[in-house]
Amino acid sequence: MTVPPYPFLVSENQLTFAFESVSPERVIIKQVLYDQINDIYYNLALVDVMPDGRLADDVVSDNQDLPKVIATVLQTMFVFFDEYPDKLIYFQGSDAVRTRFYRIIIDRELNKVRELFLIYGRKPDNSLEEFISNSVYVGFVFALKS
């Protein structure tokens, strides 16, 4: 069953997105942020923010809604690519554990995601390859499938 995304807001330049992650226990405000790295790449960051907009310090919020959050981030990618179709989205974890976590998520969602995007893994030797399950990567690149 496909998990529906959360509704979200998007800025005019289609680089900043906001939505609420909702569980019976709490509501967490999240932003999905795209920032230009260079002529080709945009960095993707997902952050939790306080009601006043400040960055929330607790890095792992775990609101028991990860599939829904991922579905929402994927939707923001569509909106991003609508405005920037020739660019690439890049993200990496803040450490090896986090990067491995991202790899597992991509792995799990791979069939669905591959229908929509070209996915590449950046290997420790700095080369790129098409994403392969269970491979070791230090970063990930998403491109719009034409």
Partner 1 sequence: MEMRTIIEKKSTDIEPPDLLLVRHPTVQAFVDKKVAQARESLKNVNLSFLQKNQHPVK
62 secondary structure, DSSP code: -
Residue type at 44 in one-letter notation: L
- Is the Cβ–Cβ distance between 64 and 112 less than 8 Å? no
- Residue 120 interacts with partner 1 (CB under 8 A)? yes
- Residue 25 interacts with partner 1 (CB under 8 A)? no
For the CB of residue 104, give the shortest distance to partner 1 in the complex, in Å.
20
Residues of span 48-77 touching partner 1 by CB under 8 A:
49, 51-55, 75
- Residue 111 interacts with partner 1 (CB under 8 A)? no
Question: What are the DSSP calls for 90-118, one per residue?
Answer: EE--SSHHHHHHHHHHHHHHHHHHHTTEE
- Residues 6 or more apart in contact with residue 92 via CB below 8 angstroms: 99, 102, 122, 138, 139, 140
- Residue 105 interacts with partner 1 (CB under 8 A)? no
In the complex, the residues that contact partner 1 under the rule CB under 8 A are 5-11, 16-20, 22, 29, 31, 33, 35-41, 43, 45, 47, 49, 51-55, 75, 78-79, 82, 86, 88, 90-92, 94, 118, 120, 122, 126-130, 138-139, 141, 143, 146
